[in-house]
Structure 1
Amino acid sequence: MGMLRYAIRRLLQAIPVVLGIITLTFLLTDAIPGDPVSVMLGPSPSAQQAAEIRAKYGLDKPLWVRYANHVVSILQGDLGRSIYYSAPVERKILERLPVTMLLMVSSYAFALATAIPLGILSAKRRNKPADHISRIVGLIGVSTPSFWIGLVLIIVFAYHIQILPATDLILPWAPPGAVSGASTRLDVLVASARHLLLPMVSLGTLQMAAIMRIERSSMLEVLQQEYVKLARAYGVSERTILRKHAFRNAQLPVITLVGLQLTQALGGAVLTETVFSINGMGRLIITAIQNQDYPLVMGTTFVFGLVFVVGVVLTDISYAYVDPRVTYDGEN
């Protein structure tokens, strides 16, 4: 019950954050220079056409009225109607969000699957060749933009070697009839994996490098603790020390970083989807900004902010599963 109360309290504390995201997004979107009506009707629309469009989308109302209506609509689950697509914003988000979530989840899976073993190996073999190589990989990874990595991967694996596709993304849950050359569910999964591999590596490299460096530092700190030295003195094998005594206690900083990396992953997804021509949330928000689609900009930004807030709350809650010393009773 302590964890449940803590989770509820953290969710309630997140409400002002979400409201702040809504408010800032609304004000910044309203401050964008230009007129969405001219985007829809051309640079010289008639006064009657412009008035009809403004009335349809509520652009003729004062700022505070539009803000209040926007907040009320979000509370009712209505994110407005896209000016560019002439469709409900939530419908466009539901079409694109699974694509972006697939890309983000796969990039995190790649990052964790490579960073944690590299970090442990680097800590175990400190100041040896394996450690130096891991540190160089981490330095290059955190210093290189995801879009540049994506372009290099396209040039190497799609243009020169020609073994992986460079554009689009096949969803693993797509029916076989909708995928070219696929007749079974396995064919769809294989095609999806081939299309996902390059953008996954492109987006996940930054997370991998950052997590690997934190994993190494955390493992080195834990391996110098007194209880580890005592275990060695009792003759406990190094493998057992790493697996049972050091690994779990070293993961709290890693979990913190994984939660905070959500912002970089969301921002990187925008560029990665653009480079690989993936129709996800990233390209959706770029299209919304380019066409001054106010409802779509506010809706996509709100969803991005909500994903980040939920990710941070889940990160806090996951601490107790990793470190039993962390409790959520009372004010802890």
Structure 2
Amino acid sequence: MGLLRYAIRRFLQAIPVVIGIVTITFLLTDAIPGDPVSIMLGPSPSAEQAAEIRAKYGLDRPLYVRYFNYLADVLLHGDLGRSLYYNVPVSQKIMERAPVTILLLLSSYAFAIAAAIPLGIISAKRRNQPTDHVSRVVALVGVSTPSFWIGLMLIIVFAYHINVLPATGLVLPWAAPASVEGAQTQLDVVVASIEHLLLPTLSLGTLQMAAIMRIERSSMLEVLGQDYVRLARAYGIPERTIVTKHAFRNAQLPVITVVGLQLTSILGGAVLTETVFNINGMGRLIITAINNQDFQLVMGTTFVFGLTFVVGVVLTDLSYAYVDPRVSYDEAD
């Protein structure tokens, strides 16, 4: 029950953060120069047409009225408004694009974690050896290189010169075979999806992989230097057993923290990655909304990204108990 009470308390504490996200996003979006009505109707709309559009979307109301109406719609009804550019509910566009971005984020995280943890462990076990030096250089390059530049280089090499992987677009693995060019079975669709995912996954996941690997290495080095590890070695316990059963789990708390906090960079990187690889996900949707001054869509997509990060941070806190039983969630703590 301690964990359940803590989870409820943490989610309740996240409510003011969500309200802050809505408030800041609303005010910044309203401060964007330009007139969305001019974009919708052209540079010289008639006064009647402009007034009709402003009344339809509530743009003729005072700022504080629009803010409290929007806040109430979001928090009480889950209504993110109606897109000015697409003329459909914002939630509808988000539901259309979200699966693409979720697939890209999950594949990037899977690549980052699967590559970073083994490399971090190997680097820690072979400290100051050639393997460690190579791993550290790879991590340094990874955290120093923008994801969009990596994406462009991958396109030049693997799509243009070698021509073995597609450079643009994304195929969803659950799409119908009839909607995918050259696919006859669902297995063909999955294979096409993997081929389209490889380059954007490497582009978006490299930064996360490098950051996680550095933390994994540092954490493992710290744990491997603890007294109980030295005692285990003195008793003749094999090094593999020490690493996998004694050191690994205790070294994961910092790694879990950085994995949760990497949500900010991976969500931001998704915007650039989707633009580079011409993927119609949430990132491209935000760019389209900004270019067309679609205030409702900008606020809706930003709110969803912010809410995703808040939920990720809370889940990161809750995962500590599973990794380290010493973590307590009693009220007194």
TM range (shorter): over 0.9
Tell me, in whole angstroms, the C-alpha distance in 2 between the residues paired with 1:220 and 1:331: 32
In structure 1, the residue matched to 2:304 is: 303
Tell me, in whole angstroms, the C-alpha distance in 2 between the residues paired with 1:147 and 1:314: 29
- 1:183, distance to aligned residue in structure 2 (A): 1.2
Structure 1 unaligned spans of 5+: none
1:329 is paired with a residue of what secondary structure?
coil
**1:219 partner letter:** M
In structure 2, the residue matched to 1:233 is: 234
In structure 2, the residue matched to 1:91 is: 92
Mapped pair 1:67 → 2:67? yes
In structure 2, the residue matched to 1:30 is: 30
Q: C-alpha offsets along residues 234-254 of structure 1, whole Å, 9 cap, x if unaligned?
A: 111100000000000000000
Tell me, in whole angstroms, the C-alpha distance in 1 between the residues paired with 2:332 and 2:266: 31
1:171 is paired with a residue of what secondary structure?
coil
**2:237 partner letter:** V
Tell me, in whole angstroms, the C-alpha distance in 1 between the residues paired with 2:116 and 2:174: 28
In structure 1, the residue matched to 2:109 is: 108
Mapped pair 1:40 → 2:40? yes
Q: How many residues align?
A: 332
1:91 is paired with a residue of what secondary structure?
helix
Find runs of 4+ consecutive structure 1 residues off by over 2 angstroms: none
Q: C-alpha offsets along residues 50-103 of structure 1, whole Å, 9 cap, x if unaligned?
A: 000000100000001100110111120111000000110000000001111110
In structure 2, the residue matched to 1:317 is: 318
**2:35 partner letter:** D
Tell me, in whole angstroms, the C-alpha distance in 1 between the residues paired with 2:328 and 2:182: 53
Instruction: Decide which moves more: 210-219 or 180-189.
Output: 180-189
Structure 2 unaligned spans of 5+: none
In structure 2, the residue matched to 1:283 is: 284
- 1:302, distance to aligned residue in structure 2 (A): 0.3
1:279 is paired with a residue of what secondary structure?
coil
Tell me, in whole angstroms, the C-alpha distance in 2 between the residues paired with 1:56 and 1:312: 38
**2:159 partner letter:** A
In structure 2, the residue matched to 1:270 is: 271
| TM-score under structure 1 length normalisation | 0.99
Tell me, in whole angstroms, the C-alpha distance in 1 between the residues paired with 2:58 and 2:133: 59
Q: C-alpha offsets along residues 268-320 of structure 1, whole Å, 9 cap, x if unaligned?
A: 00000000000000000010011000000000000000000000000000001
| TM-score under structure 2 length normalisation | 0.99
In structure 2, the residue matched to 1:254 is: 255
In structure 2, the residue matched to 1:242 is: 243
- 1:331, distance to aligned residue in structure 2 (A): 3.6
Tell me, in whole angstroms, the C-alpha distance in 2 between the residues paired with 1:184 and 1:331: 57
Tell me, in whole angstroms, the C-alpha distance in 1 between the residues paired with 2:308 and 2:175: 24
Percentage of pairs with the same residue: 79
**1:125 partner letter:** R
In structure 2, the residue matched to 1:18 is: 18
Tell me, in whole angstroms, the C-alpha distance in 2 between the residues paired with 1:78 and 1:217: 45
